[in-house]
Amino acid sequence: MQENEFNNDYLTGRERIVRAGDLELWAEDFGNPEHPTVLLVMGAQAQGIQWNDGIVRRLVDGDRRVIRYDHRDTGRSSTVDFAAHPYTVADMASDALTVLDVCGAQRAHLVGASLGGVIAQRLAVTHPHRVLTLTSLSSQPLGTDMAAAVQRVLEGAPPHPSELPPPKPELLAALASSFPKPGAFLDEYLAARLPLWRVLHGPVLPFHEGEYRAMEQQVYERARDLQAALNHMFAGASDTSATADLAAVTTPTLVLHGTEDPMFPPAHAEATAAAIPGACLVMIEGMGHTLPTTLNDRLADEILHHTGRA
């Protein structure tokens, strides 16, 4: 299903440009504005439209207002000269709050995937009055130093006993060749990206290449600058949060994670749930580090059930 291909007014996205200081952030709003708001926060280097339309549709059908948006340096949002104006995860969290402000949502259910989960966790720590519920999806605990674990893998050293498991070696190899040279044509871009999605998807669920090809073509066509998204790696590495901060979270929390996640193996989900008082951990059998359309209903239903309890 293509962007905005819905059947009625509430299921048609209302696009807007959100001003956040000198930045422009693209956002899209679905559903009845009177319904509880769900803010979908994507991961590093990912655009808001990578929250599948099927998930959005199911949430709206469940009487939720849904907002998805492009982070700075992705999609139709502003790009940043990172060397001149470096930013952090805290700044990206501030962007999320600005999106809510401009959309008129004083409080929201936060659903964050991968780095988006870390951003959502941070907001639950720093702005609990804005967060109705927290859903951390395919993510890791706030304050995890993944760069150190990855460096050990690249050096051939064994993981440190105190560290959470690093990404799978086959994923690191796929990541190394996943970004083509600047100015690459669409075919070159897809040739570089599809092998990465195959690894991220995991070995259990059927891999439908056409689904990922269509998604990446949309990403390619929407981006102001595809290379700018790499700045998210530097922003993530500069985060000064600590996992211990999660002990202060009182927001009802759901940790959703795939059993086959090659980026953040299941121990990351277990650590996140253990760090947040009262968090509920739900493992999705066979899911990797992607949002395949075959899981749209399952993921949306878990979010609806969790947000409905608030």
Counting Cα atoms < 13 Å in the Cβ hemisphere of 247 gives 4
Residue 298 three-state SS: helix
Asked if 141 and 272 count as a contact pair (C-beta separation under 8 A), the reply is: yes
Domains, the chain, in order of start with CATH, read 9-308 (3.40.50.1820)
Spatial strand order in the sheet of 65-69? 14-20, 23-30, 65-69, 37-41, 108-113, 131-137, 253-258, 280-284
The series of mean pLDDT values per 10 residues for the chain, 310 residues long, is 43 89 96 97 97 97 98 98 95 98 97 97 98 98 80 67 87 90 94 97 98 97 95 84 94 98 97 98 98 98 95
Q: 3-class DSSP state for residue 28?
A: strand
Q: Of 137, 115, 283, 118, which Cα lies nearest the Cα of 204?
A: 283
Q: Estimate to the nearest angstrom the gap between the alpha carbon of 152 and the chain centroid.
A: 25
Q: Which residues pair with 17 in a beta bridge?
A: 26
CB within 8 A of 169, min separation 6: which ones? 153
Which tokens in the block code for residue 247? 């002990």
Tell me the catalytic residues. 114, 261, 289
- The pLDDT, as a whole number, for residue 240 is 76
DSSP 129: G
